[in-house]
Amino acid sequence: MIGRVLGAVALAIGVCSTADAHYAANAVAPDTPSHRTFQRDIRAQSHGYCLTLAIYFEGGSTFEPEIGQRHIARVIHERARSNLRKWGGSDICDVVFYMRKGVCQFSFTCLPLARRTPRFGPVWQRAREIAHDELRGTNELSERSIRYYMNTALTPLRNACRFRKEFVKVVDAGRHEFFREPTPEERAELANGRFEECEKYTQQLKAQEEKRKRLAALKKKKLKLKGTRLAAR
């Protein structure tokens, strides 16, 4: 998977517009003097591009403030540092593009190509700077434990309830809330906790069940009426 992702990223880097020329440096012929002095770190550039892409689509292109984008960068980087299979391993590009059972870890990577192609400009440039700060260790955030984030305004109640019951909130930053994984003691406490999103989700399920029952009863009544009319003929 690493080879496939890096190959795709290298291709994307090669076709970047002049606004992203840092990633689009032209390779020179092997027999020229400049080739012998210029060494290009494809892996580092690929990681920078993948992280920039995630910051751009997860925050930058949706008007997330810089502080939120920096926390998003930290989550992705820390997932890669954790080197866990459930997040895609230790490679940042594999983390960004990780998919399991048809579900993308970061939803933008499952969008059609036209919708996940960045518009290179100031927003992209800022996302790239944030990515570079994170990878160079100059992203001055104190939070090292965060592994998840949620935009409560856009998250369905079912998922919001799951976040409340499975993860510990660490900080609000921008439009997102950021979470860490709980200790065993905290996990038990969270599982038994009462949360507004969970109560709303329970009410939503009850309303859906009541609607289903009403429709079933109406259908049954119509079928009975139809049978009575046929019998009367």
pLDDT in tens, 181-205: 999 999 999 988 999 999 999 999 9
Q: Read out DSSP for 63-122?
A: T--HHHHHHHHHHHHHHHHHTBGGGTBS-HHHHHT-EETTEESSGGGGS-GGGGS---SH
CA dist., res. 52 & res. 133, Å (int)? 11
* Residue reference for tokens 């606004």: 19
Domain limits of the chain? Answer: 1-23+41-141
51 vs 74: CA distance, rounded Å: 10
Higher pLDDT, 222 or 136: 136
Pick left, alpha or beta for residue 176 (phi over 0 → left; psi -120 to 50 → alpha; otherwise beta). beta
**Model pLDDT for residues 92-129, shown as the tens digit of each residue:** 999 999 999 889 999 899 988 888 888 889 999 999 99
Picking from 205, 195, 71, 92, the residue whose alpha carbon sits closest to that of residue 143 is 71
d(CA 26, CA 29): 10
pLDDT of residue 50: 94
**pLDDT, tens digit, 9 for 90 and up, residues 69-85:** 999 999 999 999 999 99
Stated pTM of the model: 0.74
CA-based nearest residue to 55, from 155, 188, 149, 181 = 149
Residue 164 has pLDDT above 80, yes or no: yes
Nearest to 28 by CA among 42, 13, 39, 41: 39
CA contacts within 13 A on the Cβ side of 160 = 18
Q: How confident is the model at residue 42 (pLDDT cuts 50, 70, 90)?
A: low
pLDDT digits (tens, 9 = 90+) for 128-155: 999 999 999 999 899 999 999 999 888 9
d(CA 168, CA 178): 8
CB neighbours of 27 closer than 8 A, spacing ≥ 6? 35, 40
| pLDDT, average across residues 193-221 | 92
Residue given tokens 């939120």 in the structure block: 68
